[in-house]
Structure 1
Amino acid sequence: MSELDFSSLAGALPYLFKTGMALTLSITALSAIMGIALGTLLAIMRLSPLRIFSVPAGIYVNVMRSIPLLLVIFWFYFLVPYIGAWIVGADRPIKVGAFRSAVVSFTLFEAAYFCEIMRTGIQSISRGQVSAGVALGLNYRQIMTNIVLPQAARNMLPSLFTRIIILFQDTSLVYVLSLTDFLGAASKIGQRDGRLTEMYLFVAAVYLIICFSASRLVKLLEKRVQVVR
């Protein structure tokens, strides 16, 4: 431990947070928002009595939850440009971009997990309330948007935030696309200054503080939700 030298850390903080952490938070926020939207749609499809909706949604969720996230990132970044070029008849692969590939990959992958959280939350609502909506003459969309989803959202919040914390941790995988996220920025600084160990220790400490604090907030939220119930 006496050989560790953190003297170069102070000068690297602006780059680490303004460039690295900013990218990490951007990917997390965009992927979470779009993943929740797609996950909600998938959950409604899975709960649909029509097999034309429930079966494809079930296959999508089971496939996504059975493969590593890193493979999804690789497939989208390397294969989609060629598939897109084949579809439109282009001579060259379509340019997707590393950032866009990362966001779309995380969105598609996390949507499968958000779907299951949404489905569980929706199923936690009493069937009597759905029946009451039918008795009032509401259609399926109106029942879901006005009765079921608002109540289910309260039950789902702790699980949703827990999944977003996991998403925040998983964004470090974008290093395979040469994106400068928080971990990637620390790696570049460490290689430049010959202090990789110090930089990785600092990154681990920052992730620990952020994720532990967020987890404690989720615990408090979960207790409040239980009180409301």
Structure 2
Amino acid sequence: MNPSVITDNLIYFLVGPWPQGPLGGAALTVILTVLSAAISGVLGLVFGVLLSVLRGPWLAVLRLGLGLFRAIPVLMLIFWIYFLAPIAFGLDVPGVGSVVAALSLIGGAYLAHTVHAGIEALPRGQWAAASALGLSRRQTLWLVVAPQVLPRMAPSVVNQWIALTKDTSLAYVIGVAELSFVATQVSNRVMVYPAEIYLFVAVLYFILCAGLELAAGRLARRYRSLPA
């Protein structure tokens, strides 16, 4: 083991060529994770609620769309957005935008079913009781259903976001200089010590995923401690 290959390239692992070049490395991985997690969370919440309130053909269309994104591999969707969007729609989507869009759409599709399952798990009598109190369906969702559903689905959301963090490594296929990409660059440059390099990368991914789990767990406990 030769730790010098890590210490000599530590800054490059963390921020890539920045400030002389664009931000990369672990910092870019964190940015990709945060953006994708936020957007997928919003999409999952919106589509999950729609799964619970829509009826008829609109519900069938929504289920078909969500099923499509759940079936597509992340790598393939990244390729579609990055390479086909300029040809099909004339949209020049940058690499970072392509990765965030792909992760957000697929993550949102999975989270939508998590939200929907949480809503459907509540006793139907709560909807009837809220209606009897004069609450609209929208008010029932946000004032009665959401405070009970969101803490319960926190473990599933955290698991999805951890998977999303690891999926950011797929960005290397279109040249986005996230953590896996810069690790490969370092390995190719020094030509030795791949075990040390990729073990260090694994440790960084573990720290990111563990930090996300701890933060989400603390947020969930705080949410549950709020007065009803």
TM-score (norm 2): 0.85
1:67 deviates by 2.1
Q: Deviations over 1:126-165 (max 9, x none)?
A: 2121111211222222211221112110101111111111
1:210 deviates by 4.0
Describe how 1:31-180 pairs up with structure 2 within 5 A: 31-85=36-90, 94-180=91-177
Q: How many percent identity over aligned positions?
A: 32
Runs of 4+ that moved beyond 6 A: 216-228
Matched letter for residue 100 of structure 2 = V
Count of matched residue positions in the alignment of Structure 1 and Structure 2? 217
The answer for the alignment partner of 1:187 in structure 2 is 184
The answer for the alignment partner of 2:197 in structure 1 is 199
Q: How far apart are the structure 1 equivalents of 2:208 and 2:52?
A: 35
Q: How far apart are the structure 1 equivalents of 2:44 and 2:221?
A: 25
1:59 deviates by 0.6
TM-score (norm 1): 0.84
Gap regions ≥5 residues in structure 2: 16-23
Matched letter for residue 204 of structure 1 = A
SS of the equivalent of 2:92 reads coil
Distance of aligned partners of 1:223 and 1:149 in 2 relative to their CA distance in 1, 3 Å threshold: closer
1:206 deviates by 2.5
Q: Root-mean-square deviation (CA), in Å?
A: 2.5
Matched letter for residue 60 of structure 1 = G
Distance of aligned partners of 1:30 and 1:53 in 2 relative to their CA distance in 1, 3 Å threshold: same
Q: How far apart are the structure 1 equivalents of 2:159 and 2:87?
A: 35
Aligned counterpart for 1:9 among listed residues 6, 13, 24: 6
Gap regions ≥5 residues in structure 1: 86-93
Matched letter for residue 203 of structure 2 = A
Q: Deviations over 1:70-89 (max 9, x none)?
A: 1111111111122222xxxx
Moved more, 150-159 or 198-207: 198-207
